[in-house]
Amino acid sequence: MLVLFNHPPSDFSEAALGIGATSRRDVGMAKREGKCVKTPVALTVAGSDSGGGAGVQADLKTFAALGVYGLSAITALTAQNTAEVTRVLDVPADMVAAQIDAVLGDFGAQAAKTGMLASAPIVEVVAERLAAHGVTNLVVDPVMVAKSGTLLLREDGIAALKRLLLPLAIVVTPNIPEAEVLTGRKIVGREDLYDAAREILAMGSRNVVLKGGHAEGDAVDIFYDGKDWREYSAARLLTPHTHGTGCTFSAAIAAFLARGYGVEEAVTAAKGFITNAIRHGLPLGHGHGPVNQFPWVS
């Protein structure tokens, strides 16, 4: 039986969603005063996951769950399920550029995120068009390898991402394997995480969230803005249903930025959102099932 809740249940509260009393009060007041309340808009530039668990599909579900209207520019088509990626087809770079121009030229966006970018030519046009449209709230998720092990960003693309895209980012969200590729260093202990975060910040992003989910023990993410450090710790959830974790987390940050949150506030809210999405992961398919952006629908 399908049960729809008008509000999220108690274990997925407004606090977990990151939608605080101030935001609700401001919207309510604006409506009472007859003001036009503009729907926040965010853009995802990423690959398509035919299984729906990651990529553009995960991003759009996350935007919708957080009250943000989602735009998309697809960089690659993947034949993918919970167990493997069987084929990848890059979208021509000029078509990626055309998608970005079409949606930003019409809707505009308060924030954007990038995911799978596949190759250097795609990275180059994405950086060029996002800069041309004045996108400042850019979340870069440096997607490189699928959970199944398939390479999603070629070597030339990694160099282009470091050179062209990271300097545009308000925040970059690598996991440990991605941070190792970006820095060329092996990350073993806690001090290695801090050193890698410093090195990645020096590549141009204004903030870094280095995700610790691949390390042993509790899942500890490190936030660094060049001055201050913050650790986000959550007990590790023992579940195989984690497909789309990184995509959903970075999309949630972008969604909260689009809603007007500051960077650290957006990261904090996104951490709560992804923790709940993992906790309510869906046991679908024969591999790693997807996280659940709508756990209040059962």
Residue 222 lies in a domain: no
Rounded distance between C-alpha atoms, residue 99 and residue 227, angstroms: 37
Residue pLDDT, tens place only, 50-88: 999 999 999 999 999 999 999 999 999 999 999 998 999
| Catalytic residue (choose from 47, 52, 115, 246) | 246
- 247 a catalytic residue: yes
| Catalytic residue (choose from 245, 248, 268, 275) | 245
Which secondary-structure segment (H or E) carries 21?
A: helix 21-32
Residue 178 lies in a domain: no
The strand pairing partners of 116, in sequence order, are none
- 157 a catalytic residue: no
**Residue 133 CB coordination number (10 Å):** 16
> Which residue segment(s) compose the domain that 112 sits in?
10-171+235-279
Q: What's the CATH number where 123 sits?
A: 3.40.1190.20
Residue 3 lies in a domain: no
- 114 a catalytic residue: no
Does this model's pTM top 0.85? My answer is: yes
| Catalytic residue (choose from 51, 212, 244, 281) | 244
Q: Which residues contact 121 (CB under 8 A, 6 or more apart)?
A: 93
Rounded distance between C-alpha atoms, residue 254 and residue 291, angstroms: 18
| Catalytic residue (choose from 44, 51, 173, 247) | 247
Residue pLDDT, tens place only, 5-16: 444 544 445 544
pLDDT score of 1: 38
Residue 75 lies in a domain: yes
Residue 193 lies in a domain: no
- Say if residues 200 and 182 touch (Cβ distance below 8 Å): yes
Rounded distance between C-alpha atoms, residue 26 and residue 182, angstroms: 41
| Catalytic residue (choose from 113, 147, 162, 211) | 211
- Say if residues 278 and 130 touch (Cβ distance below 8 Å): no
The three-class DSSP label of residue 69 is strand
Per-residue pLDDT averaged across 153-177, rounded?
Answer: 95
- 242 a catalytic residue: yes
Domains contained in the chain, number:
1
Compute the half-sphere exposure of residue 244: CA atoms within 13 Å on the CB side of its CA: 37
